[in-house]
Amino acid sequence: MATPSSSPAVPQAGAPGADAPVAGTSLWKDAVKRLRKNRLAVFGFVVVCLVVTASLVGPWIIERATGYTYDYIPTDPALVNAQPPFTAPDGSFSWLHPMGTDDAGRDILARVLLGGRISLMVGVISTFVSLIIGITVGATAGYVGGKVDEAIMRGVDVLYSIPYMMVVIVLLAFFGGRSAIGQLVLLFIALGAVSWLTMARIVRGQVMSLKSQEFILAARATGVPASRIILRHLVPNTLGPVIVYATLTIPSVMLLESFLSFLGLGVQAPLASWGSLAADGIQNIAVFPWQLICPGLTMAVTLFSLNFLGDGLRDALDPQMRKG
């Protein structure tokens, strides 16, 4: 939609001037100010920070505090069965397992936090992969234009109509039988490879509207090579919408990973993600519902917060949208 730096921002310029007598706030400072006023976005930001911190240090703390082994199997064999949240083996109240335990007696909170590491990693790294592909393709198409642009964008159209599940399955098959870590890296790449299409379109649109502006003309007139113009002048100016879309890509990629894990194609057994934990939980839904609900709800809350944060960022960076 509208670019923060192009003409649609102009009619706005007169109005905020009245209540902001101090001159010289940058686009980014303005955006941060607007973001902080958006309570839902701040809430999202706080929750995301909490979840990230908990996933990073939580498992370590649990290990120290409870004396469980590194994979959270209780050392006491009497504990090897499923227990509801906040319940001791004898049925009394206990703080030991706030999310209960799974069939092997493993603490679900610890599993959820460990799974959070994987899920968040998938979200961030795959989004990064999709960013790189999307920006490269989109910027090239938008800057070069003409036949190249036409060919690239038709290609993107075709890729849109190829089911992403098929692409992911085929990509995952290429390196089958690797180690758990190898599988994970592959998952990052596969998920990134199917989620760059919209990013490419956004960047292309931005670049097209930017490239006819004077500063690009000036750069070209002084003999700056095309690759440098794209990297140093065009891409930095598309960052606003790109950051916004990337923030919204993270939850969607995490959701995609969880679907794959649900189908048994994603994160493999020794490792766990929120998706694979929830998928395990579904097996026991009638008897041990907390095994699904705890990881599922954690995931929903995190995605919810990420989405609010992304929405808030969009409103903050795009004055046109903010009115709506």
Partner 1 sequence: MARFILRRLLVIVPMLLVVVSLTWGLIRVAPGNFYSGEKKLPAAIEKNIREKYGLDKPWYVQYGRMLANTARGDFGESLKYPGTTVNSILATTLPVSATLGILAYLLALVVGITAGTIAALKQNSRVDYASMAAAMLGISMPNFVLGPTLVLLFALRWYWLPPARWDGFSLHLILPVLTLSAVYMAYIARLTRSGMLEVLRSNYIRTARAKGLTERDVVVRHAVRGGLLPVVSFSGPALAFLISGTVVVERIFALPGLGNYFINANLNRDEPLIIGIVAFMSIAVLLFNLLVDVAYAFFDPRIRY
Query: Which residues are at the interface with partner 1 (CB under 8 A)?
Result: 40, 158, 161-163, 165-167, 169-170, 173-174, 176, 251, 255, 258-259, 262-263, 275, 278-279, 282, 285-286, 289, 292-293, 296-297, 299-301, 303-304, 306-308, 311, 323-324
Closest CB to partner 1 among 166 and 181?
Answer: 166
Question: How far apart are CB 253 and partner 1 at their closest, in Å?
Answer: 13
Contacts of 96 (CB under 8 A, 6+ apart): 66, 88, 107
Helices (H), the chain: 10-19, 27-37, 39-66, 108-144, 146-160, 164-174, 180-194, 197-211, 214-221, 226-228, 235-237, 239-262, 274-283, 290-317, 319-322
Question: How far apart are CB 48 and partner 1 at their closest, in Å?
Answer: 12
Question: How far apart are CB 125 and partner 1 at their closest, in Å?
Answer: 20
- What b/e sequence results for 3-13 when a residue is b if at least 16 CB atoms lie within 10 Å of its CB, and e otherwise? bbeeeeeeeee
Sign for the pseudo-dihedral over CA of 160, 161, 162, 165 = positive
Closest CB to partner 1 among 206 and 261?
Answer: 261
CA distance 98 to 74: 15
Closest CB to partner 1 among 74 and 241?
Answer: 241
Question: How far apart are CB 132 and partner 1 at their closest, in Å?
Answer: 22
Question: How far apart are CB 176 and partner 1 at their closest, in Å?
Answer: 7
Closest CB to partner 1 among 181 and 300?
Answer: 300
CB 298 within 8 A of CB 116: yes
Closest CB to partner 1 among 86 and 304?
Answer: 304
